[in-house]
């Protein structure tokens, strides 16, 4: 299929318990690359959010494990069969290159397929009580039940399909009801996914999608009385606002990252450079687990830096719809201007730009910056774009760990070393949720636990297995057991 053919402008409606709902006020969805309008979505008001939660709360799901498994697997198969359609939507509204959009669509298949498989696995536990002098001839059993209220799911722009899937699939697997609010920047993919779910047999009352932005709906997604749990992926600022406003609700916050790739003196430098460039530029660098800082020890820094530049020069940056493009644009021109200002600030403090061009609208070319002071805003804050930032650190693992831990974030990390003593130190002492040896910080599978500490989140994990746990209540019961 020709990726360069642009989809028509989509005039969308919200899905409230399956009903199409529009408003007079509409929000434009623009292609970041050329600023063209690709869609129009309703601007929800608090009463729309209230209606969605009320209808969800009034519905009591009775789907068996088998029925849920069938819906989830059918969704996975429909996504697989429509992969290019979804990739085109993602590229149009997010500006991600065609290669990255196709990859995201294929990842979403895994999310839904894994959730389907886990649905039919019994998640109860059993405890024998005759294990001490104080025990009895009884057994205690646990079972997991859906939440009494509704899940409020709020998703970001950088993974318009996969991030939404990571909220919806575990919730449906556990017989929960949801109200989804995708970001107004990339809502079209989420609406198309909702239609796939309805087609796959999901009772429409189990999923509503409201659209717009806080300027019209306020904090309704956070404060609704029927919301039992708020799950959010996005910025630290918004995450802390949710934590402040949610009150007596459960919250699952997956926030920002400032993930290091650490290169020690014994590393295979060519392999490490490949991880550095790929990890910093895939998805236009717009991943909370992207390589945001490259900490390389001084003794190998010169050779490593040359390899990074060599690999970065091979990347084609430009029109996201061109199948040959390796790096598309970032989400908007404002973000690209911020990244450019941070690069300029680092240069003023002694850093050196070895490769790259200045920002052009929302197009921010892969930019290799060497000799960055580790306290610069470019690497001390989360820079959500394809910067490849090299920080030279002393040949001292204690100092490497200190610098790595010096930011407010604690999401993930990648380590390039073969020394077992180093590996043990990094696993023990890095203040992160994940340590990947000889991989980018973002490596995971869709089932494995994922989440961070410090300003990267509350420590509740995502990934299908952990999300299914957090989206349920555990009920314990016991009975005499003399056998």
Catalytic site residues? Answer: 254
Give the 3-state secondary structure of residue 395: coil
Closest CA to 441 of 468, 413, 464, 415: 413
| C-alpha to C-alpha distance for 366 and 281, rounded to whole angstroms | 7
Structure tokens of 276?
Answer: 């550095």
| C-alpha to C-alpha distance for 472 and 451, rounded to whole angstroms | 18
List CB contacts of 272: < 8 A, sequence separation 6 or more: 261, 263, 296, 304, 307, 416
List CB contacts of 135: < 8 A, sequence separation 6 or more: 128, 129
Instruction: Work out the burial of residue 238: count CB atoms within 10 Å of its CB; fewer than 13 is exposed, 13-18 middle, 19 or more buried.
Output: middle
| Cα dihedral: 38, 165, 255, 378 (round 10) | -50
Determine the length of the chain: 483
CA distances from 231 to 12, 108, 284, 403 (A): 24, 18, 25, 31
Closest CA to 291 of 304, 303, 282: 282
| C-alpha to C-alpha distance for 118 and 464, rounded to whole angstroms | 8
Name residue 208's beta-bridge partners: 179
| C-alpha to C-alpha distance for 158 and 114, rounded to whole angstroms | 22
| Residue linked to tokens 């010169």 | 302
| C-alpha to C-alpha distance for 186 and 286, rounded to whole angstroms | 14
Characterize 196-226 residue by residue with b for buried, 16 or more Cβ atoms within 10 angstroms of its Cβ, and e for exposed. Answer: bbbebebbbbbbbbbbbeeebbeebbbbbeb
SS3 content of the chain, % helix, strand, coil (to 5): 40, 25, 40
Characterize 324-352 residue by residue with b for buried, 16 or more Cβ atoms within 10 angstroms of its Cβ, and e for exposed. Answer: ebbbbbbbbbebbebbbebbeebbeeebe
Which run of H or E residues covers position 433? none
């Amino acid at each position: 299929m020709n990726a360069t053919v642009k989809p028509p402008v989509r005039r969308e409606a919200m899905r409230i318990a399956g009903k199409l709902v529009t408003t007079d006020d509409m929000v434009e969805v623009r292609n970041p690359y050329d600023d063209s309008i690709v869609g129009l979505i309703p601007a929800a008001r608090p009463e729309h959010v209230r209606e969605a939660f009320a209808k969800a709360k009034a519905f009591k799901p009775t789907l068996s494990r088998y029925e849920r498994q069938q819906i989830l697997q059918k969704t996975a198969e429909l996504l697989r069969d429509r992969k290019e359609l979804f990739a085109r939507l993602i590229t149009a509204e997010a500006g991600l290159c065609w290669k990255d959009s196709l990859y995201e669509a294929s990842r979403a298949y895994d999310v839904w397929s894994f959730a389907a498989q886990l649905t039919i696995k019994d998640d109860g536990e059993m405890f024998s009580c005759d294990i001490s002098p104080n025990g009895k001839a009884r057994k205690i059993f646990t079972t997991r039940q859906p939440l009494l209220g509704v899940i409020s799911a709020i998703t970001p722009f950088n993974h318009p399909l996969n991030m939404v899937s990571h909220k919806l699939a575990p919730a449906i697997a556990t017989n929960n009801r949801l109200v989804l609010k995708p970001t107004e920047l990339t809502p079209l993919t989420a609406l198309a996914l909702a239609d796939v779910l309805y087609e796959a047999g999901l009772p429409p009352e189990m999923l509503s999608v409201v659209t717009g932005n806080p300027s019209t709906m306020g904090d309704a997604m956070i404060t609704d009385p029927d919301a039992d749990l708020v799950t959010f992926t996005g910025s630290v600022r918004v995450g802390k606002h949710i934590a402040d406003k949610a009150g007596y609700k459960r919250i699952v916050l997956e926030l920002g990252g400032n993930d290091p790739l650490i290169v020690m003196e014994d590393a295979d430098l060519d392999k490490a450079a490949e991880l550095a460039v790929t990890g910093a530029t895939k998805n236009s660098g717009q991943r909370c687990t992207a390589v945001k800082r490259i900490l390389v020890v001084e003794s190998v820094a010169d050779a490593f830096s040359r390899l990074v530049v060599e690999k970065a020069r091979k990347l084609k940056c430009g029109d996201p719809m061109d199948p040959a493009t390796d790096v598309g644009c970032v989400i908007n021109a404002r973000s690209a201007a911020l990244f450019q200002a941070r690069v300029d600030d680092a240069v003023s403090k002694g850093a050196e730009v070895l490769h790259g061009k200045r920002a052009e609208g929302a197009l921010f070319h892969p930019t290799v910056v060497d000799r960055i002071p580790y306290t610069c805003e470019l690497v001390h804050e989360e820079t959500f774009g394809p910067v490849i930032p090299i920080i030279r650190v002393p040949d001292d693992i204690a100092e490497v760990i200190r610098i790595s831990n010096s930011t407010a974030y604690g999401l993930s990390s990648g380590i390039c070393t073969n020394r077992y003593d180093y590996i043990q130190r990094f696993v023990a002492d890095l203040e992160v949720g994940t340590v990947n040896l000889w991989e980018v910080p973002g490596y995971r599978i869709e089932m494995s636990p994922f989440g961070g500490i410090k300003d990267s989140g509350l420590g509740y994990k995502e990934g299908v297995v952990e999300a299914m746990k957090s989206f349920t209540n555990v009920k314990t019961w016991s009975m005499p057991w003399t056998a």
